[in-house]
Structure 1
Amino acid sequence: MDDRDEPSAHRRPRIPDTRAARHRSTRTDLRMLFPLYQPAQEVGDRWLTRAYAGPSPQEGRDALAHHFLKQTHELEPDPGRKRDFADAANLLDWERHDELLVLGHRYRVVRIERYVRFTRDEPDWPRATDPPPLTCDPPPGESERSARQYGIDLTSDAETDADAAALKAELSELVPAGGPIPREVTEDALVRHMAYPDVIILPPDFQLLMRRGGARAWRPFGSNCTTPDEAREDLRLHLAHRSRSDEEWNAGTTTEERAAYGAALASCEAEGLVDAVSVLNRHYRVARVIRVARVGFDGPETPRDSDHDPYPPPAAQHLEAHEQGLLDEDDEGPPDPPGDETRKFLLGPG
């Protein structure tokens, strides 16, 4: 898989004598997906997720700012505490920070690694034991997907059996290296693996993959899903969109292609939600994704310097657009920048 030019996982030059990992690697291999970035809060000796995960460090910061704003609008009755949460959100709107101290609690954007196990170039399927859809309504303002991502313990393994132990041993040996992978990515990974040596297995998520014709590479597309049925429904929606002629982004498809997608959609809806569909020369799969957090003495891993992080904070983008005259007359200007009082939220030099 090479979406976003993410590297494959390669073994370290020096491999510990781990028989379980070595035995499994002869039958299957792990391939690396792009990581996700998820806000978490330190609660006692644990770190618990507090918002949805995003595909870039900045989107993780944006999710943390959104969490702070939710406290001011829905949950926090004290005016002084509301102000602190609002100020912390405004700080993240203007500046890049991966960790803040707000009202005595540390909040951090955590890097979540993601892998798919392949057997003979086929991705791992969902399992019967994987989580079903929610049976209760999510909290106000939350989707089912975001509600499922709240309160996950990033310091405790979700799986503790023998297979999980072998997986942790295997993951401890893997580092992106070789081929087109930049040297700084490999060096960054080696340093971080020493700083965050513990591998924590989190609940899985699920990702749509697509492969063209007889090509070996499977490419992820769409968003990460928290249950198999969410990913199956995303696959159904993709077939539905590709079968329509009134979609602007679908205007380039031929009548034959739309008909093929329409037939695949009809078959899918007749069978119910499915894990695999082939249309013309495209093969689609719902893949089970292994998610892990790396943890050190000070908590879970933050974004790396080598991670792809192309977007500035939203207020900084807004200010740039305002200064370049790109906003309409009715658009509001950027918010006020954070004052000196927000420096209290920083744990290190600000």
Structure 2
Amino acid sequence: MPDHEVPPGPPNPHTGQEDDPVARVRDADAWDRRHRYPYVVLRGPVFGYAQQAAGSSGWRLLCTMSDGYPQDARDGLNSHLWFKAKDDADSPGTRRELLDAVARLETEPVDEVTAGGVRYRVLRGDEFARLGPGGMEPPRPTDPEPAVPDWAPRRRRTPSRVTGHVIDPRQPAAGMELLERKALARLCYTAERYPRDVRRDSARALATHPGVTLLPATFTAVEEKPDSWEPLVGPQPTPHDARRSLATAMEEFWPRIHHYGPAETADYARAAARYRSAHQEDTLRVRGRCFRIVRTQSLVRLGPDGPEGPRPSDTDVSEPSRTHPVMDEHGTITWDH
């Protein structure tokens, strides 16, 4: 069941972007989908890390914002700062500051550190999808697609549109983005299946971090089941990346992981081949199963001091630890034996 129904909003929104034809088309697309998929379903928290330079109100994301646990994001920040100390520090003093921050992250579950006049913070977001009578929302016509689809598995992935995205509380929004932010501002975890402390922290965040910003959309493949939708691949930057990941998984990975027999392996290989020939098809059926490409997005809540960090009820499955060798302020690395 949906956790929150987004109200339909005013009938003819004034976008404030009449001079931008691309924005007009994107807003019309979003408005259409808002009515065809009126429900917003929270899929769970995601975590990442960002930096804020001194004197700036913006926070630049340094990752894809897709970690499932706060400690995963802390470990990612730990690694980011270690390599920054190794490769980018312009003085022993700056390197020492970075390494001191690394040392804290190795031993404490801290969500913010400062080094070289830059604040680094672990951020929390909520991933959501739109839902309508036909199921979860598929990609939109205005979502990014490659000019020439490439189905071959590649070492170099399409660059993330989330990494490098700047969250700036002072940046104004217009058009459908403004309406979306307002509609999602009261979104919280209310379903009884969520633990009480999760619902309590979610309700509290409405007051402590009343603002909302939206990250660029991502795309994934899900399997349609009688009472649920099961994600099968990680978030991808374009619908085509999600399609290619699904086809590759069906043909190369699933037979080995699930120990398919020859007939089952052949069925999935033929289905993957048909899927590739269809180019931009977002539904695939094989052996009684239904797979779809769906559009997901994450919101980050904003308070007086910027983006929200992890909540007390957010869980972890690991603890802080050292993930890189010891380095001194001169860049000398000591390898363990």
Report the TM-score range of the alignment, normalised by the length of the smaller protein: 0.7 to 0.9
Q: Choose which of 193, 196, 204 in structure 1 pairs with 2:206.
A: 193
Deviation at 1:108, TM superposition (A): 0.5
Q: How many residues align?
A: 298
Deviation at 1:161, TM superposition (A): 4.5
TM-score (norm 1): 0.75
Q: Which has the higher helix share?
A: 1
Checking the alignment, whether the CA contact within 8 Å between 1:241 and 1:250 is kept in structure 2 is no
Match of 1:304 in 2: 311
Instruction: Provide structure 1 residue ranges, at least 5 long, that are not aligned to the other structure.
Output: 2-7, 136-141, 319-333, 337-350
Q: Separation in 2 of the partners of 1:290 and 1:59? A: 20
Match of 1:167 in 2: 180
Match of 1:269 in 2: 276
Go from structure 1 to structure 2 and tell me whether the alpha carbon gap of 1:283 and 1:242 turns closer, same or farther (over 3 Å shift).
farther
Whichever residue aligns with residue 265 of structure 2, its letter is: R
Aligned pairs for 1:1-16 within 5 A: 9-10=3-4
Aligned pairs for 1:190-229 within 5 A: 190-212=203-225, 215-229=226-240
Deviation at 1:270, TM superposition (A): 2.4
Instruction: Provide structure 2 residue ranges, at least 5 long, that are not aligned to the other structure.
Output: 12-30, 149-154, 327-337
TM-score (norm 2): 0.77
Match of 2:9 in 1: 20
Question: CA RMSD for the aligned pairs?
Answer: 3.3
Deviations along 1:177-224, one digit per CA (max 9) or x if unpaired, are: 232221111111011111000111221111221113xx1311123211
| 1:295 aligns to 2:302 (yes or no) | yes
Report the identity percentage.
26
Match of 1:36 in 2: 46
Go from structure 1 to structure 2 and tell me whether the alpha carbon gap of 1:143 and 1:294 turns closer, same or farther (over 3 Å shift).
farther
Deviations along 1:49-76, one digit per CA (max 9) or x if unpaired, are: 1233222111111111121122123322
Deviates more, 1:54-63 or 1:233-242: 233-242
Checking the alignment, whether the CA contact within 8 Å between 1:117 and 1:123 is kept in structure 2 is yes
Q: Choose which of 50, 57, 66 in structure 2 pairs with 1:45.
A: 57
Q: Separation in 1 of the partners of 2:232 and 2:172? A: 27
Task: Indicate the SS of the match to 1:261.
Answer: helix
Checking the alignment, whether the CA contact within 8 Å between 1:155 and 1:295 is kept in structure 2 is no
| 1:260 aligns to 2:267 (yes or no) | yes
Match of 1:178 in 2: 191
Whichever residue aligns with residue 235 of structure 1, its letter is: L
Deviation at 1:290, TM superposition (A): 2.1
Q: Separation in 2 of the partners of 1:165 and 1:190? A: 22
Deviation at 1:335, TM superposition (A): 6.2
Whichever residue aligns with residue 247 of structure 2, its letter is: R
Go from structure 1 to structure 2 and tell me whether the alpha carbon gap of 1:261 and 1:310 turns closer, same or farther (over 3 Å shift).
same
Q: Separation in 2 of the partners of 1:133 and 1:59? A: 31
